[in-house]
Structure formats: C-alpha cells, structure tokens
Amino acid sequence: GAGVSQSPSNKVTEKGKDVELRCDPISGHTALYWYRQRLGQGLEFLIYFQGNSAPDKSGLPSDRFSAERTGESVSTLTIQRTQQEDSAVYLCASGRDRGEKLFFGSGTQLSVL
Amino acid sequence: QQPVQSPQAVILREGEDAVINCSSSKALYSVHWYRQKHGEAPVFLMILLKGGEQKGHEKISASFNEKKQQSSLYLTASQLSYSGTYFCGTEIDWEYGNKLVFGAGTILRVKS
C-alpha cells in the first residue's frame, strides 16, 4: 500500500475485555514498531520487529500485552484484560531498514471504559 | 535509554530562530527527528547517522556530535507551520539491537 495502515482507527471497549489492533506496514519494510502515546505525552516504545530476528519486547508494560508479526507483513498488538490506564493512541511505524526513516500510521485510539 | 530533549517548550514569533537539543548517555548509531501536529501522526524530518551521513529535508538543518552523543535541530526563520511537537529518537550503536526510542518531545509554538 501507499502508507502504513492501522485498524481500527477507534476502539471503545469495556474494562476487562481483550482487544486486537492491526498494522499493515509498507511493502518491503523490514522494520516495524509499536508505540503508545497517552494524551499529551511522548512516544512510548512497546515492541520492535526487524526482519526474521527475534522481536525486542522490552517495552511491553505487562504480560497482558503481546504482539506478533507474520514474516515482513501484518502485525497485531493484543491487549488482554484491558484496564483504564491502557487508554491511549497506539501507533505503528515501519521502515526499510536500520537507520532509515520511519513512516507512521494514523494510529488506533483506544478508550477503555 | 530514552534521550533527553531540551527545552520542553518554546514560543517564537514568526521569523525567529530556535534550537532543540537531544542528548543520550549511550553511543549512538543514529539520531532521528520527527514533528507531530495535534491529532496527527509524527512526520519524518531528518536522520543523522554515525559517520556523518544525513538524510532529510533540504530546509531542515541539524547537527550530530558523536563524541558527546548530542544532536541539535535548527529551525530558522520560523513560520506558523513549524508549530508542533518535535521528537528526537535515538538508535543505540549496538550490534544486537538498535530499537528507536524517542525523547519526551519539545512543544514549539510560532505566533504571528
């Protein structure tokens, strides 16, 4: 595709429910990131996929968070048993390789009631 | 590992200049600069790589001091469109992993 695509754009869920967020990176991009951005805050690193290497999961805040990537394509971020503090915009970004610019998706606005 | 940005916020009048700084305690492979406008995704401005290579917009200038692990973004003759939050991101120079981690951001507001 022309850019990084994320779905859904908005998700409202009840506390305790599981949610799945999807990211379609730009074709051919080996690097894929997930970041979390709370209202008025910075970009909090969550997880990094680079080609076929083991992902860097060091930013995942708890074991309720997990992410997968199929080869060099789609990635899903799953949050189990959502809490109100999970409310944020979740941004996905992809890049051609190390040291290359990142292209960001428009994000998924997650609201946990 | 998160880089430190300064200042936290700056207000300018159109035409004035500004400098945003970014520093890290680790040896760096690259420094990235992005701008985010309210309600939008961050947009790429520039990359500065270890060894001196730079990639980015012609109208944006930045520096990277590899010895001090510091980078600065120079905004000259500011325009209203420059308003937004500027983030620096750093990739640590490590063979086994180099995730891009961002600083807390610098809010820039340009007034007419």
Residues of B in contact with A59 (CB under 8 A): 99
Q: Which domains does chain A have, with CATH numbers?
A: 5-112 (2.60.40.10)
| Strands (DSSP E) found in chain B | 4-6, 9-13, 18-23, 28-36, 43-49, 54-56, 61-65, 70-75, 84-92, 100-102, 106-111
CATH at residue B69: 2.60.40.10
CA distance A48 to chain B (A): 6
pLDDT band at B97 (very low <50, low <70, confident <90, very high): low
CB within 8 Å: A35 and B55: no
CA distances from A34 to A96, A108, B66, B79 (A): 15, 11, 27, 31
Cα gap B41→A47, rounded to integer Å = 18
pLDDT tens-digit map of A43-68: 999 999 998 888 999 999 999 999 99
| Selected residue with higher pLDDT from B8 and B55 | B8
Quote the domain boundaries for residue B87.
4-111
Task: Tell me the one-letter amino acid at B106.
Answer: T
In this complex, the residue of A58, A59, A99 whose CB is nearest that of residue B47 is A99
* pLDDT at position B50 over 90: no
Contact A93, A102 (CB under 8 A): yes
| pLDDT > 70: percent of chain A | 99
For chain B, say whether A91 makes contact (Cβ under 8 Å): yes
Cα gap A83→A18, rounded to integer Å = 10
CB within 8 Å: B47 and A103: no
What pLDDT score does A1 carry?
53
